[in-house]
Amino acid sequence: MTHAPPTKKTNGFWKSVVQQKYLYLMSIPFVIWVFIFSYVPLWGWTMAFQNYKPFKTFGQQKWVGWDNFSRLFQDDRFYLVLRNTLAMSGLGLVFGFVVPILFAVLLNELRGNAFKRTVQTVSYLPHFVSWVVVGGIVYKMLSINGGIVNDMLTWLHITDEPIQFMAKAKWFWGIITAADLWKETGWNAIIYLAAITGIDKELYEAAKVDGAGRIKQMFNITLPGIRTTITVLLIMSIGHLIGIGFEKQFQLSNSLVTDYSEVLDMYALKYGIQIAHFSYGTAISMFTSVVSIILLLVANGTMKKITKESIM
């Protein structure tokens, strides 16, 4: 019995592996880390189909099928929490995605390098501040007792008395969005600034020769030059629409705004940890993960058809 000789494609693959063996070796620890902390825990999804009881073995658990998901979709609180999640993630996508792009483009137009570096450093430092600290700052700024926002409003005679911002449930989404913008705009702009530096400088010189001003250069060279970066980050942002975490909501929430502050991750935390209904909490988290994957695939496919660019 004869064996088919290896193809050129196969030989080329192994040749590439040999040439880049050190890169593959360096990646092994990270592959192991991802496997242990991202794939092995997926076994825990089986709890969503059980009436899970701690200290019982896997074989002793009672299987309940889709009961936890049926309960989830029949819970009115779930739809309220889903509304809050989509509203805050939607605002974060619109403002938290557009503002860093504009900030990066405008920052790139600054002439003085020293001033530009100073602005960039000051803008991304809040990223390293914990949401615990940010929550305290926001509460202090919006306080009715010495809060700078209320002091400014009364000084400008916009209001006659201080406004209890943190007691206004319908204002919570806007407060969260504004706080997130202050904290993350500078950091999110870094990747766009890096992409802008990769644009050929000769394009700007040619545009100047043709009489294009700085505004036209921004719209005809800078923004098209970072389109790929924008597309990739937009796809990834859409994938996180429903899984936005709970740190900022947890820090800024209070009993007066719960109906507008609770998101899916807080909902899962409440049932999974506080109430110790592990199966129901797992079902909530599983729903979030599956929907996030679907959103990612849909966004990727749509962008691939529209812009011919995608992440896979």
Give the pLDDT confidence score for residue 261 in this predicted structure.
92
3-state SS, the chain, equals CCCCCCCHHHHHHHHHHHHCHHHHHHHHHHHHHHHHHHHHHHHHHHHHHEECCCCCCHHHCEECCCHHHHHHHCCHHHHHHHHHHHHHHHHHHHHHHHHHHHHHHHHHCCCCHHHHHHHHHHHHHHHHCCHHHHHHHHHHHCCCCCCHHHHHHHHCCCCCCCCCHHHCHHHHHHHHHHHHHHHHHHHHHHHHHHHHHCCCHHHHHHHHHCCCCHHHHHHHHHHHHCHHHHHHHHHHHHHCCCCCCCHHHHHHCCCCCHHHHCCHHHHHHHHHHHCCCHHHHHHHHHHHHHHHHHHHHHHHHHHHHHHCCCCC
Q: Contact 45/282 with Cβ under 8 angstroms?
A: yes
pLDDT tier at 114 (50, 70, 90 boundaries)? confident
* pLDDT tens-digit readout, 115-131: 888 888 899 899 999 99
What is the average per-residue pLDDT within 118-145?
91
168 pLDDT exceeds 70? yes
- What CATH number is associated with residue 175? 1.10.3720.10
State the residue range of the domain holding 62. 50-307
Residue 73 has pLDDT above 90, yes or no: yes
For residue 5, what pLDDT is reported? 55
**In the chain, pLDDT over 70 holds for what percent of residues?**
96
Residue 263 lies in a domain: yes
| pLDDT of amino acid 160 | 86
Distance CA 77, CA 90 (A): 20
Indicate if the pLDDT at residue 306 is higher than 90.
no
In this structure, the number of other CB atoms found within 10 A of the CB of residue 144 comes to 15
- pLDDT for the residue numbered 24: 87
The span from the CA of 147 to the CA of 141, in Å, is 4
pLDDT given for residue 18 in this prediction = 83
Q: What is the pLDDT of residue 100?
A: 93
Does any domain span residue 287?
Answer: yes
| % of residues, the chain, pLDDT over 90 | 41
pLDDT in tens, 19-62: 888 888 999 999 999 999 888 888 888 889 988 888 777 778 88
Could you report the per-residue pLDDT of 101-112, keeping only the tens digit for each?
Answer: 999 998 888 877
Q: Is residue 266 part of a domain?
A: yes
Decide: residue 276, CB within 10 A, 0-12 exposed, 13-18 middle, 19+ buried: exposed
Identify whether the C-beta of residue 263 lies closer than 8 Å to the C-beta of residue 283.
no
Least confident of 9-18, 95-104, 182-191, 238-247: 9-18
- Which residues contact residue 311 at a Cβ distance below 8 angstroms, ignoring those fewer than 6 apart? 232, 235, 236, 300
CA distance 302 to 294: 12
pTM: 0.84
The answer to whether residue 302 sits within a structural domain is: yes
Least confident of 116-120, 290-294, 307-311: 307-311
What's the confidence (pLDDT) of residue 126? 92
How many domains does one find in the chain? 1
The whole-number pLDDT of residue 21 equals: 84
**pLDDT above 80: residue 224:** yes
User: How does pLDDT run across 244-270, given as a tens digit for each residue?
Assistant: 888 899 999 988 999 999 999 999 888
More confident call, 276 vs 181: 181
